[in-house]
Structures are given as C-alpha cells and as structure tokens.
Amino acid sequence: MLLRVSDDSGWAGVNWYLRFPDLAEVRARLDAGADPAGGEGWWEPPLHAAAARGGVDVVAELAGRIDDVDALMRGRSALWTAVAAGRFDAARALVEAGADPWLDMMSGWSPARLSLSTSEPELFGGGRSLAPEEAAMVAEARRLGDLFGPIHLDGFSTACVAGIDVAEAVRRLDARVLTDDPEQLMASAGEDPEDADAQQTMWATEVPGGVVLTQPWLYGAQMPGVIKALSAGTTCYALYANPKSGNQGSLARDGELLGWDLHPGGGPDEDEDDERDVFLNYLYDGQAVPYCYAVTGLKPQDKRSFDGPPDAWIRIATRDWWK
C-alpha cells in the first residue's frame, strides 16, 4: 500500500496514513497546482483517503475541487468509503458536494444501500431497509465480533466445516482421538511445533452448524489435504494466521480446493460478482476468525472451538496432507 507520495501530482512527501494533512496544507497544495484526484495509478486518491481518515473540512475542500466526486477506485466511490468507515459527517459533506448515494457499485451495494447496515440507516433518507436475510447477517456479524473480540495472535490455524460433527471429522481424516493429558499435549507441541506428531495433532469441537478444527501452534488445520477431506459433500473454510505474511484463507467444497491464499477479514473486493460475498466481506472487515465461521454458517455460542478447551484432541493419519 502506498504510504508516501513522491510523484509530480503535487502531493510529494504527504503521508495519508500516519499524519493526515490538515485543511491549511491541503488548500496550499491545491492552490499551488496539486491534482485533487491524485495521480495515475494511485492506490487511494486523496478524496478517498480523506473520506476514510481526514477531517470533514478536508473532504469538503477536495470534493469541491475534483472533476468527478463519484470517481471509483477499486470499485468504490469516496462516499462508499466514508459510509463503510462509519464517517457519516464526511458522507454528508460528499453528498453536499454532489456525490450520488444511490450510484450502483460493488455488485449492487451503493453507498445508500450499504448505509442501511450501519448505525445511521436513515443517513440518505428514502425510508428503505435491508432485506430480512441481510439484517440477520448484520446482527450475526455484531454478535460474533462481540463474542471473539480483538484477536492478537498468530501462528494458529483453524478450519470451519458445515454440517458434520467431531466423529465424522475424525473418520474423514482417518484420525484417532487422543486420551493423553491435554496440558502435556500442549506442552509437547510448544516445545517443537514442527515435530511430526505436533503437526498432526489438533483440536476438534462441535458448534451449532458444524465442527471446528483448530491447531493453536501451526498450519495443520489449513493443509490442502485436510480441508479437501473435510469438505466432502459440504463446505470448509480454513485460516492460517501466518506470522510472516498475515492471514491466509482457503476454501474447499465437495472435496475440491476452490481458493487458496485468500484474505479473510481483508474487506470486499471489486472483482467479487456475488452481492452476498461483497456484503459478508464488508461486515467482517478486520475480523478474520469470525469470517471463517460466518462464511460456513457456523454459529458458536462460546469461544471454546477457538481457544479451548475442545471437545477432543485428535491426531490425523500420517500422509502427505499437502496434496
């Protein structure tokens, strides 16, 4: 992501993330010839950046100088960005400058439609509301967010599987249930997480809607062979919180790997052509673990499936699970 601009657009040296410029600086640069739209190839034009993080006065200044206040970047307008960030004063300033709240984008999620899911559903008037299924998705996202809270961990993996129980997961992975002392198992895994036994050991816990496999110390629950085996006749979404490169998601359905190196909790993508996927990714922006549960329809009532104690410790069969 571009943090500092060093081009000839008039914004050289500006940091749009760590210290957002105030109105005086923005106005001085614009008066000196800075391009209010930024430059070609920008990841985030000035107006979009201001809509997300800048002062409302800066938003109004940029919006008043730009040729197209509804210009899209990564499929969304500055107004959409303001609504998604919950910056409703910035959204009002953009509308006053001529932004269209009902402009179609993001697979049907206009800024106005998106606002119906926020704490200000009447932001743009119109007396509209979300469909019952969409309202239920909002409520569940808030519930899961409250349930899991902030997660500041890495190195773990978890796989959410719809429609099966622990016994079926054990069968599909040709695993065995361990009867060893859980504290000793945890200690052994901590001593050498990449030991063969540690790699093949994980937790299994039933939740309403399915089962969750978690490995607190390594990537085992996200290995391709594991999630393909678990997904026979159903759907499995897995996550590995890679300490080096961040959250990595994978999706398998009916024994086939459909997606790898996905970005759970990374927000919606303009290339998504399914309006439900766009909405789901918006709701779980920054919430990778809850997203895994939501996308598979699992409805945990507590955090045991993620941070223990699990229903069972299991050890999967010895084979090449990377295939």
pLDDT in tens, 309-319: 999 999 999 99
Q: Convert the pLDDT of each residue in 166-198 to its tens digit.
A: 999 999 999 999 999 989 988 988 888 889 999
Q: Which residue has the tokens 């993620």?
A: 306
Which secondary structure element, helix H or strand E, spans residue 202, and what is its range? strand 201-207
Whether 119 is covered by a domain: the verdict is: no
Structural domains counted in the chain: 2
Nearest to 155 by CA among 224, 238, 201, 215: 215
Q: Is 185 helix (H, G, I), strand (E, B) or coil?
A: helix
Q: Is 248 helix (H, G, I), strand (E, B) or coil?
A: strand
275 close to 281: Cβ distance less than 8 angstroms: no
Q: pTM of the entire structure?
A: 0.91
313 close to 166: Cβ distance less than 8 angstroms: no
Q: Which residues span the domain enclosing 68? A: 23-101
Same domain? 268 vs 171: yes
CATH code at position 78: 1.25.40.20
Give me the tens of pLDDT residue by residue for the chain, a chain 323 residues long.
Answer: 333 444 568 888 888 888 889 999 999 999 999 999 986 656 789 999 999 999 999 999 999 999 999 999 999 999 999 999 999 999 999 999 999 999 999 999 999 999 999 999 999 998 899 999 999 999 999 999 999 999 988 999 999 999 999 999 999 999 999 999 989 988 988 888 889 999 999 999 999 999 999 999 999 999 999 999 999 999 999 999 999 999 999 999 999 999 999 999 999 988 777 999 999 999 999 999 999 999 999 999 999 999 999 999 999 999 999 99
Structure token pair of residue 57: 């006065």
Q: What is the Cα 27 distance to its own chain's centre?
A: 35
Distance CA 218, CA 138 (A): 31
Among 101, 135, 168, the domain-final residue is 101
Close Cβ partners of 92 (under 8 Å, ≥ 6 residues apart): 123
Same domain? 86 vs 180: no
Same domain? 94 vs 170: no
